[in-house]
Amino acid sequence: MDGYRDAALAEKLSAQVYRFSKTPVRLMEVCGGHTAAIHKYGLKDFLPGTINLLSGPGCPVCVSSQKFVDQAIFLGRRKGVILTTYGDLVRVPGSVSSLEKEKSRGADIRMVYSVLDAVKIAKENRGRQVVFLGIGFETTAPASAAAIMRAEQEKVYNFFLLSAHKVMPPALESLAGGDTQIDGFLAPGHVSAITGTMIYQKLADVYHRGVVVSGFEPADILQSVLLLIKQVESGHFLVENEYTRVVKKEGNPRAIAVMNRVFNLVDAEWRGLGIVPESGLAIAPEFANHDANLEFNIRVPDCQLPKGCICGDILTGRKNPAECSLFSVRCTPVNPIGACMVSSEGACSVYYKYKT
Amino acid sequence: MCLGVPAKVVRIEGQEATVAIGSVEYQSSLLLIDDVKVGDYILLHAGFVIEKIDPAEAEETTRLFNQISNMEQE
Amino acid sequence: MRKITGRISMNHGNGGVYMQKLISDVFMRFFNDELIGNQSDAAVLNTGSGAIAYTTDSFVIEPLFFPGGNIGSLAVCGTLNDLAVSGAKPAFLSVGFIIEEGFKISELTRIVRSMAIEAEKAGARIVTGDTKVVNAGKCDKLFINTSGIGVLDEKHIPLSSGKYIKPGDKILLNGPPGEHGMAILQARKLFDFKTNIISDCTNLYPLVKQILNISDRVHFMRDATRGGVATVINEIARKCNTGIEIDEAFLPVNNEVAALCELLGFDPLYIANEGKVIVVADAMDAELILTAMRQTKCGKNAAIIGEITADHPGKAVLKTRSGGKRIIDELLGDQLPRIC
């Protein structure tokens, strides 16, 4: 893996990007992991001014609605409930509180590395209701699905999922079709590992945007940018796969099958994009007894985004974090106002941390 | 999103595989993957093996990098 | 940033920006002695018959025992190190215990024993102490405070001020960052990763003594504890209004810490250490000091990791292995493990 981080190789790939890049282009790195890698390795130093990189909606924490966080907090305050979650969600602000704050006030909130750890916690605490907060796209949703199937199989009926899982293609298509000028997409490598590369075909064929499925090492990203530029320069748009060591055309059929068995597509709210049709994953009737939405009568008021926050414009690539009046003044990683500041991969958080 | 880390399969016990990330070991789940063997390189995400890493393709990628980056001398 | 309001959060104790804010807005507002104003690891005091360094530190840690040490060895080493990096030879220690009702005497005995051993190894004497017991639930098992007095050679008095730091100086680190924080994380058994990471908890005085003996061109030292190496680097940049460039390729790495960081999405530069010192020295003596560091037990993997620059004053920059550059920002909230 170290070879992909080699400075000499990065330098050479960069030279090629300089050589081929002529017209100014706007490229969106869809995945927060790409955003983080670009900043972590200082990759913007390798790209000419003609290339404008935009951070897309591929950070699950960022696109999860404030209402979802409020629902989680509602559950955390219920007596007897153990909330389990991936780490990133802990600091996301709801309309009045966050899981971190609720925890310091006594809610039983536990961070897990795997959703199966949450099932284990449920097994060890049969008298309590254990809720896992399901966030993430096609990469992560199959894990939640597998956990539900396991809980059902092992009769762990006190395990519940509050699903905010989402799928990527409808959001990308809404971006390609909207008023945002995006010439090409650096497609999310690990989503594609599950889904395969065919889900992006419409972006190239119908919307005439470049698509390159990219890995996460510096050389992967520079190479993918180079491939995208060549597409834009030639005017010939297609779906290319740079990350062939992991991503196959057909994806991971078993993971897809598990996901499809447990979830059904529903309309879902994305922070910044609003309601996107058939972009959310809700638990199918067969597994309804593990659906936190059905088990609990979750009542939270509808909420407005905080005043001045331009998370939506940032996620859609219309603006960058520096254009927000709250950025680094009132909105910082410790006191985030918008969700883009919350995740360490969120566009605002990354800008804040690595501002150059 | 989707932090995926390359790891090597050390042992397989039923639905679980012990994988090594350098010298760190983790008992991962095989519920989402078919046909994993000891010695395979895999991608680990949130405790699950989500895909195998193809060594031949990894080599091919490296070869492509070198080919492209050497075009300067053409 | 606005003035501090609201309630204390865990972020006010992590050594980063929020803790500095708490110190400046609440403590320094009323504790305004010029000596405390220096905000160095230890206060340097002139007694009339020679200079001494004086410091204090409190220790709360969960779990009390971890691979590589326990709260007792930590409490003694922490204070010894604050004295050592001020250039002082640790001489006297005080120890204070707050014990929760119900705590096992056998565990307390183990802890106290390791405190005695660490102090003796350093040639420091534990000369006074205090014990309080509180009702169950009023503290978490055991809290320890230690204070220390060290004897300071006249010529080392300016060391802790950092005023000798100048562009061109080299920055040295005695080993890989992140071992203590990751050993603690593992000891808490939050995640099921199997590692053999051992805390770097150690007394740095032997190393400090070695390099001060060999060179008169050591310009500054600071132990990198909470907030990690990144926090100390930023402190130097801010305090001396100078730029810093760290070269990632030269940073010592513990492979297990690196792997765990990759898995959890952490940056080792922000993880706590308990036996790491950052040394700033004249470039002329850097190699000499490096050799001396490597001859000590806690400096085997020492490296020159970067230098002080005239460019970008107040900012620390990391030159990444891939050749790009990025800012090493100050720690804000504690790092959260991330999966997505």
C205-251: pLDDT as tens digits: 999 999 999 999 999 999 999 999 999 999 999 989 999 999 999 99
Residue A63 to residue A276: CA distance in whole angstroms:
11
Query: Cα–Cα distances in Å, from C336 out to A19, A71, A311, C13?
Result: 40, 21, 21, 16
Closest Cα of chain C to A231: distance in Å? 26
Q: Residue B39: which CATH number?
A: 2.30.30.140
**Mean pLDDT over residues C46-71, rounded?**
94
Task: Work out the pLDDT band at B73, boundaries 50, 70, 90.
Answer: very low
More confident residue, A123 or B66: A123
Query: Cα–Cα distances in Å, from C200 out to A101, B36, C77, C298?
Result: 32, 37, 11, 8
> Architecture of C162-327 per CATH?
Alpha-Beta Complex (3.90)
Out of B1, B21, B45, the one facing C259 most closely (by C-beta) is B21
Domain extents for chain A? 25-294+303-308, 311-354
- The chain B residue lying nearest A117, using CA atoms, is B47
Percentage of residues in chain C having pLDDT higher than 90: 78
**Mean pLDDT over residues A313-337, rounded?**
84
Average pLDDT of chain C?
A: 93
Residue C216 to residue C174: CA distance in whole angstroms:
19
Contact A82, A124 (CB under 8 A): no
Q: What confidence score (pLDDT) does residue C1 get?
A: 54
Query: Is any Cβ of chain B less than 8 angstroms from the Cβ of A240?
Result: no
Q: What share of chain C is helix, strand, coil (3-state, %, to 5)?
A: 35, 25, 40
Q: What are phi and psi of C311, to 5 degrees?
A: -70, 165
Task: Work out the pLDDT band at C295, boundaries 50, 70, 90.
Answer: very high
Q: Which CATH class is domain A25-294+303-308?
A: alpha beta
Task: Work out the pLDDT band at A1, boundaries 50, 70, 90.
Answer: low
Lowest mean pLDDT among A265-274, A317-326, C12-21, C86-95: C12-21
DSSP helix/strand/coil, A302 = coil
Which chain B residues have a beta carbon less than 8 Å from that of C193? 24-26
> Is 80 exceeded by the pLDDT of residue A89?
yes
Nearest in space to C322 (alpha carbons), one of A249, A296, A2: A2
- DSSP for residue C115: H
> Is 60 exceeded by the pLDDT of residue B1?
no
Under an 8 A CB cutoff, do B46 and A246 touch?
A: no
Beta bridge partners of residue A264, listed in sequence order: A282
Contact A134, A165 (CB under 8 A): yes
DSSP helix/strand/coil, A349 = helix
User: Chain A window 256-285: which residues touch B at a Cβ cutoff of 8 Å?
Assistant: 258
Under an 8 A CB cutoff, do C191 and A113 touch?
A: yes
Per-residue model confidence as pLDDT tens digits over C130-160: 999 999 999 999 999 999 999 999 899 888 8
Query: Cα–Cα distances in Å, from C151 out to A239, A267, C50?
Result: 69, 70, 8
Q: Which chains touch A (3 or more CB pairs under 8 A)?
A: B, C
> Is 50 exceeded by the pLDDT of residue A263?
yes
State the burial class of residue C56 (Cβ atoms within 10 Å of its Cβ: 0-12, 13-18, 19+). Answer: middle
Q: Which residue has the tokens 């030292």?
A: C221
Single-letter amino acid, residue C140: D
DSSP helix/strand/coil, A161 = strand
Q: What confidence score (pLDDT) does residue B74 get?
A: 40
Residue C219 to residue A210: CA distance in whole angstroms:
54
Residue A85 to residue A79: CA distance in whole angstroms:
18
**Mean pLDDT over residues C304-321, rounded?**
95
Q: Considering just the CA atoms, what is the radius of gyration of chain A in Å?
A: 20
Strand order of the β-sheet with C243-247 is C218-223, C277-281, C170-173, C303-309, C243-247, C316-319, C325-327
Strand order of the β-sheet with A51-58 is A51-58, A25-31, A184-188, A210-214, A239-241
**Mean pLDDT over residues A105-115, rounded?**
94
Contact A290, A152 (CB under 8 A): yes
Which chain A residues have a beta carbon less than 8 Å from that of B61? 215, 220, 242, 244-245
Domain extents for chain C? 33-157, 162-327
> Is 90 exceeded by the pLDDT of residue C74?
yes
Residue C114 to residue C118: CA distance in whole angstroms:
6
> Is 60 exceeded by the pLDDT of residue B10?
yes
Which chain A residues have a beta carbon less than 8 Å from that of C311? none
Task: Work out the pLDDT band at B69, boundaries 50, 70, 90.
Answer: low
Do domains C33-157 and C162-327 share one topology? The answer is no
Tokens of C99: 């014990």
Domain that holds residue B46: 5-73
Q: What confidence score (pLDDT) does residue C38 get?
A: 75
Contact C151, C205 (CB under 8 A): no
Residue C82 to residue C147: CA distance in whole angstroms:
10
The residue among A135, A139, A249 with the most chain B CBs within 10 A of its CB, best to mutate, is: A139
Which chain C residues have a beta carbon less than 8 Å from that of A354? 326-327, 329
Which chain B residues have a beta carbon less than 8 Å from that of C195? 23-25
DSSP labels, C24-77: IIIIHHH---HHHHT--SSEEEE-SSSEEEEEEEEE--SSSEETTEEHHHHHHH
Under an 8 A CB cutoff, do A356 and C327 touch?
A: yes
Q: What are phi and psi of A220, to 5 degrees?
A: -55, -50
The 3 state secondary structure assigned to A230-244 is HHHHHCCCCEEECCC
Count of other CB atoms within 10 angstroms of residue A29: 26
Residue A169 to residue C177: CA distance in whole angstroms:
41
Out of A59, A333, A343, the one facing C332 most closely (by C-beta) is A333
Query: Is any Cβ of chain C less than 8 angstroms from the Cβ of A12?
Result: no
> Is 80 exceeded by the pLDDT of residue C121?
yes
- The chain B residue lying nearest A17, using CA atoms, is B69
Q: What confidence score (pLDDT) does residue A35 get?
A: 87
Under an 8 A CB cutoff, do B31 and A150 touch?
A: yes
Under an 8 A CB cutoff, do B1 and C263 touch?
A: no
User: What pairing do the DSSP bridges indicate for beta strands A129-134 and A109-111?
Assistant: unpaired
Task: Work out the pLDDT band at A356, boundaries 50, 70, 90.
Answer: very low
Nearest in space to A282 (alpha carbons), one of A273, A300, A294: A294
DSSP helix/strand/coil, C280 = strand
Q: What confidence score (pLDDT) does residue A315 get?
A: 75
User: Chain A window 90-129: which residues touch B at a Cβ cutoff of 8 Å?
Assistant: 113-117
Q: Which CATH superfamily is domain C33-157 in?
A: PurM-like, N-terminal domain (3.30.1330.10)
Residue C256 to residue C194: CA distance in whole angstroms:
10
Strand order of the β-sheet with C125-134 is C43-46, C51-59, C142-152, C88-100, C125-134
DSSP helix/strand/coil, C119 = helix
Residue C135 to residue C143: CA distance in whole angstroms:
13
| Sign of torsion over alpha carbons A28, A29, A30, A32 | negative
Q: What confidence score (pLDDT) does residue C2 get?
A: 64
User: What pairing do the DSSP bridges indicate for beta strands B16-21 and B24-29?
Assistant: antiparallel
Query: Is any Cβ of chain B less than 8 angstroms from the Cβ of C215?
Result: no
> Dihedral, CA atoms, B57, A143, B33, A214, nearest 10 degrees?
-10
Per-residue model confidence as pLDDT tens digits over A12-39: 999 999 999 999 999 999 888 898 889 8
> Is 50 exceeded by the pLDDT of residue B28?
yes
DSSP labels, A238-268: -EEES-TTT--TT--HHHHHHHHHHEEEEEE
Q: What confidence score (pLDDT) does residue C111 get?
A: 98
More confident residue, A220 or C6: A220
Query: Cα–Cα distances in Å, from A107 out to A110, A122, A130, C51, C123?
Result: 9, 16, 13, 51, 47
> Is 90 exceeded by the pLDDT of residue C282?
yes
The residue among A38, A113, A119, A343 with the most chain C CBs within 10 A of its CB, best to mutate, is: A113
Out of B22, B44, B46, the one facing C258 most closely (by C-beta) is B22
Per-residue model confidence as pLDDT tens digits over A171-188: 999 888 867 788 999 999
**Strands, E, within chain A: which ranges?**
25-31, 51-58, 81-85, 109-111, 129-134, 159-163, 184-188, 210-214, 239-241, 263-270, 274-283
Task: Work out the pLDDT band at A2, boundaries 50, 70, 90.
Answer: low
> Is 90 exceeded by the pLDDT of residue A243?
yes
- Please count the structural domains in chain B: 1
User: What pairing do the DSSP bridges indicate for beta strands B5-13 and B41-45?
Assistant: antiparallel
